[in-house]
Structure 1
Amino acid sequence: MSTWPITLSVDKQQSTYSSALITWGIARLLADLFEYIPVNDKRITICDIGSCFHIRISTGFTLSDVPFIPLLRQIRTQKQSAGLQEDAYDYERYRMQEQRHFDALASLKKEGITLAQLPQGSERRQNIEESQLGTEWPILKMINQMGALNVYNEVAATWRGGQIAFADVLQILVDAFATSPNRLSEAEEAWKSLQRLHALSGNSKVTASQVVNPDQGKGANRPKADSLTIRNMDSFWLLEALKFAGCFEAVVHHTIKGRKDRKTYVALPRKLVLANHRNVFPAFQQQFWTATAVKLDILATLRYSATFIAKWEEVHSGVSLHPRPDNYIAGFATAFYKDLGNAVAVLNTSHISLPAWAPPLNDVATAQALRQILRECITIVSQLDERRGEEEALLRAFREFITRRDPQMEAFFDFTGGYATYLMQQMSRQSRVTCTPFSTTTLEDFIMTTDIQRQQPWLPLVQNPGFQNIADALWRSTIQPQRLKASKGERTYEIRYGLVNELKQHARYPAKFLDTLSDFVQSYNQENVRIYEREHKQYRKDITREDLNQLITLIDAYNAETVCRLLIAFGSSRSTRESQDTAPDMQIVNNETDDDIEAEEM
């Protein structure tokens, strides 16, 4: 009997989604085997080498020395309960436990408290925490609710039926993936021979469920189109067993909020140790809640990155290790399923990358700063409603920004330009200020982390005093007076509703952009004079000639469009000098002193 090799290879087929699941399934099997194998180094490393995934271990082991591993447990439901194995998952028990957990949380909500507010160690809190189900329950629901239960139970039974020749089953798996290209047809023939030799039950081929094969739908799929027949596609049962096993390692599945459509996310490994993945991914699953379709994509990348950083701080904060979240997984392969009433159909498949602008975690300070950026992005994205057309466009722009490498940040500026208008509209419609702008600190961090991708860094531009003074004036003419009007009824200064759109409209034409900006500066300073004459107090600093000269120099050094976009982004962002929780009060300034003197609060 041969040994398990150091490396197995899983070729990337047409759907990376399915190939990744096979990879995770093999890694899960190895982890279970290592529970019974006396080896010193039990690390399982998964690597993406381009054409295939590698699953690596440090030392091989003899296949005949390992006991049978029940890779999959069947699922018992009310409709399907006869003839199943004794250790089958009790679906109804899980469902009732979930309902008790939700009822307990709903009771807390009626009382106006949260679970975190209950005393630590109290019986009530302990009961609610114990009723929370593990990460396997969402996968069981996915399999049952999406019509894959029959196939899943069939391959689980076939795997269990191979117990009497388990070493031979492992040999078939090893032979199939020991080389690239994989030898899948030979593995299927070897299984048929083993079946005949030991009278093993089960079919060599099963239906390729779209739950784990979103690219293999029912239809006319014959290689030779000599007739039109509509049928399901079939697959070797061992591959399907590995795919279902992989679901328990690296899949998140949610029903789209407000609809019955569904979306599945499969983690795409880049280079990671399985034990580290098992430390991060369950925590991510608990933090990743349902939302609308585009928002789910954004939150998947943001929440995984935030979870990764939190775990890195716990484990590696004192170690010389400088990873990025996308060094471990590249992102997620996704499948969107449209609800058709009695069934679901795959509408599209895609790939969502982790934020490419995230810097290496060189130290704890960098990790904390990145966590703050992600937290702020999650807050802003969560308040947008995808069911409204203009907000959906904002979410799509933000998704494009965080999932692709773009040194010019085109999608991000599309978002910030539209978000400035959105803030104004929301504040004008609401008596209470509930929407949150970006902070200037977060924007500067965005700029700093992406500057390494640009030949001409932008950080000197946004830290220029003239740029900052004009951006501050833009804020005090648009967002701030609108916030004060909404929260306090304050109407000291004019709200310039169309200013942002005018600047965007002329951004590509330097002369027109400067004309528009000059008109704004003139009216801004004139308004300051009028308010001073009326109230004998000045709440805003004038824009000086030096400020304008510095901005013109920046336009010459960069270009009008870049300066305009950054000006709008910073002009619609909350200054770090202002409170993050309430609308900022106006400030009294004295223009007879130097412009760089700090303004006093009223």
Structure 2
Amino acid sequence: MDNMYQQTYFVEKSAGTFSDSLATYGLAAILDEILAQALGRDNRRRVWIRDIGPCYTVTLEQPLRAEWVEQCSYFPGPAAYVTTRRTESPPANVNVRDVDETWEQFRTYQAARENLRQVSDASDDLRREIEDAQLPHDWAVVTLLGTQQMQALATYNQAVAQWALTRDHFTFNLQTILRMTAAPHVDLEAIVRDWRRTVRVPGVKHELTAIQLLNPHQGKGQNRTKANDLTMVNVSAFWLLEYLKATGLWLAAAPRTVRSDTDRKVYVLAPKDITLSTHRAVFETFSTRLWNETAVKMDCIAALLYTDALLEHSEGAQCDELNFEGYGPEDVVSGFYVVQYKLLSRNAYTAINLAFLGLPEWTGESHSRQDVLDLRKVIHEHREVIERIEEARSDGYNLLLRYRDFVSGQRWYDFFEFACGYGQYAMSRLSKGQRWVPLLTTTSLRRLIMATNKPLAAIVQDPGFQNVAYAIRHSTIIPQSRKARGESTLYDIRYGLGMDLKRKATVRDDFIAALADFMQSYNQENSQVLESRKQQKRRDLRSSDVEAIVRLVDEYGSEVVANLLVAYGYAREPREDAEAD
């Protein structure tokens, strides 16, 4: 028999979708349980999951031993048999989750949350009621599998049942999995033939349908290795491979429903360099906090939430490999495979979009606990802004698209477009009577730039730049906020100032002229208000500020300076807020 007892195992990225990732997490869970039984469940063990390009690897701290596998007792694994009113009774020796019971848990939890919202001072009993009703982090996996239109439950349950039904051949099943993953390229057909010759159990199939829930790249269609026929058939795969994917579904998938729609999205984590134990801890935190949202907004929030969960576990020293000394969260996890399913008929969901959502690469390195805390503040601020954007509006939808491109791809152009557009969006919301709109702060913008684009730091730290951004802020967002609160604005509100500066930024001289015109009219208005009302609540600009902007434009270009000015000008300055109060 092949040399299957080794330290590193491989899952080839043959599909290029989340099915490879699911199989990897499933393999890691199997190996982890073998180690737990062999070394002692309470003893420390590490199972590393890594992305090495064409393959995922699962690496142990020491080579797997034959006796560990041969002496390993049967275990049901993380994949539970899911029951509904229509399913057959589960076989013995499997974990069982019921769809109706899960929905009842959900309704109980929602009722407890609603009770909490309706009281200003919650009692200890009410808080304990919510804690007792807390949903398990994987509840959405149960309800997704139980959705009849997903057409996945029968095949999924068959894979789970076969794991139990072949219990008498459990060691051989483990050995088969090890042979399947012993190298990047194995002769899977030969391995399947060996399994079929050895295991003969009534009702157990060697192949199962490759359901779209586990294999979003496949489905019923004209799929033939040799183009000698044209028939509409389902694609099948070796059942142990499908079982690994089914196991991974419980470890690394976060299914959600798109708000105000019937579409469903499944987020599956793409590992880069993380241990299984750390992944489990962080993913549980993440999945309990991710709730249904509109399609694009949910992508943005998912990326921010998971990054925040990683940083939270790092900050609390809960996972010692997450110290982020010299690297960032994106070096631990690449991001999410995202598949969107649409109900194209009354009977079936169909995968309509396969995408990849990267984690923010603008987090930078963290060299202290304070760095982690500061970074989490930036993420919380971004979440607060994103959550208030209405995706149903065309301007809100476009803003979310820009932000998603930035958060996933670290393209500063997209961020500047978002920041400028959001400034106009906030002004519009305030002008229509909304008393408060969350804004990015200059502090978070500065941290963002210092972490990932340090050449721009010289611009935002320049006193002249800061003074002009101050003038923009006190001509736009600050007077508009005061008006929304019913206070006197004292100064005119300059609608469209940011967009005008961005339009002129493509030509250096036009931008300088437009900015000089604004600065002159800004100072003139200060003088007029001081003369007529004997008040001045904002600083004048000086000639040195003009000179500073011209120098920065000559050094960095008009578009870069304009983008930063608008982003800073429509951001909130905490110190100025305190002065205003």
* TM-score of Structure 1 vs Structure 2, range by shorter chain: over 0.9
- Which structure has more relative contact order (CA 8 Å, sep 6+)? It is 2
Task: Summarize the alignment of residues 108-147 of structure 1 with structure 2, pairs less than 5 Å apart.
Answer: 108-112=116-120, 117-119=122-124, 122=125, 124-145=126-147, 146-147=150-151
- AA in 1 matched with 2:98: D
Deviation at 1:137, TM superposition (A): 2.0
Select 1:523's aligned residue among 517, 521, 524: 521
1:222 alignment partner in structure 2: 224
Q: Say yes or no: does 1:99 pair with 2:107.
A: yes
Separation in 1 of the partners of 2:272 and 2:192?
Answer: 29
2:387 alignment partner in structure 1: 382
2:220–2:235 Cα contact (<8 Å) kept:
yes
RMSD, matched Cα: 2.0
* CA 200–184 in structure 1, closer or farther in 2 if over 3 Å, else same: farther
Deviation at 1:316, TM superposition (A): 6.5
1:372 alignment partner in structure 2: 377
* CA 327–127 in structure 1, closer or farther in 2 if over 3 Å, else same: same
2:577 alignment partner in structure 1: 579
Secondary structure at the residue paired with 1:252?
A: strand
- AA in 1 matched with 2:294: T
- Which segment drifts farther, 341-350 or 72-81? 72-81
1:419 alignment partner in structure 2: 422
Separation in 2 of the partners of 1:493 and 1:83?
Answer: 72
1:447 alignment partner in structure 2: 449
2:35–2:45 Cα contact (<8 Å) kept:
yes
Separation in 1 of the partners of 2:237 and 2:436?
Answer: 52
1:42 alignment partner in structure 2: 45
> 5+ residue gaps in structure 1?
586-600
- AA in 1 matched with 2:335: G
1:207–1:234 Cα contact (<8 Å) kept:
yes
Secondary structure at the residue paired with 1:315?
A: coil
Secondary structure at the residue paired with 2:528?
A: helix
1:84-143 CA distances to partner (integer Å, 9 max, x unpaired)? 447532332232222222222223333456xxx432xx3x43333222231232111111
1:217-238 CA distances to partner (integer Å, 9 max, x unpaired)? 2222223444432222111111
Deviation at 1:268, TM superposition (A): 0.7
Deviation at 1:527, TM superposition (A): 0.8
- AA in 2 matched with 1:46: I
2:25 alignment partner in structure 1: 24
1:151–1:209 Cα contact (<8 Å) kept:
yes
1:176–1:186 Cα contact (<8 Å) kept:
no
2:158 alignment partner in structure 1: 154
Separation in 2 of the partners of 1:233 and 1:281?
Answer: 31
Task: Summarize the alignment of residues 275-286 of structure 1 with structure 2, pairs less than 5 Å apart.
Answer: 275-286=277-288
Separation in 2 of the partners of 1:491 and 1:244?
Answer: 60
Deviation at 1:4, TM superposition (A): 3.3
Task: Summarize the alignment of residues 160-559 of structure 1 with structure 2, pairs less than 5 Å apart.
Answer: 160-196=164-200, 199=201, 201-315=203-317, 322=325, 323-340=327-344, 341-406=346-411, 409-430=412-433, 432-452=434-454, 457-559=455-557
Separation in 2 of the partners of 1:245 and 1:317?
Answer: 23
Deviation at 1:250, TM superposition (A): 0.9
1:11–1:181 Cα contact (<8 Å) kept:
yes
Secondary structure at the residue paired with 1:547?
A: helix
Separation in 2 of the partners of 1:81 and 1:223?
Answer: 34
Separation in 2 of the partners of 1:551 and 1:83?
Answer: 72
Secondary structure at the residue paired with 1:525?
A: helix
> 5+ residue gaps in structure 2?
none
Deviation at 1:186, TM superposition (A): 2.1
1:317–1:364 Cα contact (<8 Å) kept:
no
Separation in 2 of the partners of 1:427 and 1:76?
Answer: 50
- AA in 2 matched with 1:461: I
Separation in 2 of the partners of 1:16 and 1:318?
Answer: 30
Deviation at 1:300, TM superposition (A): 1.0
Separation in 2 of the partners of 1:556 and 1:201?
Answer: 76
Separation in 2 of the partners of 1:88 and 1:371?
Answer: 38
Separation in 2 of the partners of 1:539 and 1:85?
Answer: 76
1:335–1:349 Cα contact (<8 Å) kept:
yes
1:13–1:19 Cα contact (<8 Å) kept:
yes
Deviation at 1:526, TM superposition (A): 1.1
- Which segment drifts farther, 64-73 or 413-422? 64-73
1:195–1:201 Cα contact (<8 Å) kept:
no
Separation in 2 of the partners of 1:64 and 1:521?
Answer: 79
Provide the identity percentage.
32
Separation in 2 of the partners of 1:190 and 1:166?
Answer: 15
Aligned residues: 568
1:309–1:371 Cα contact (<8 Å) kept:
yes
2:267–2:338 Cα contact (<8 Å) kept:
yes
- AA in 2 matched with 1:56: T
Under a length normalisation based on structure 1, what TM-score does the superposition of the two structures give? 0.90
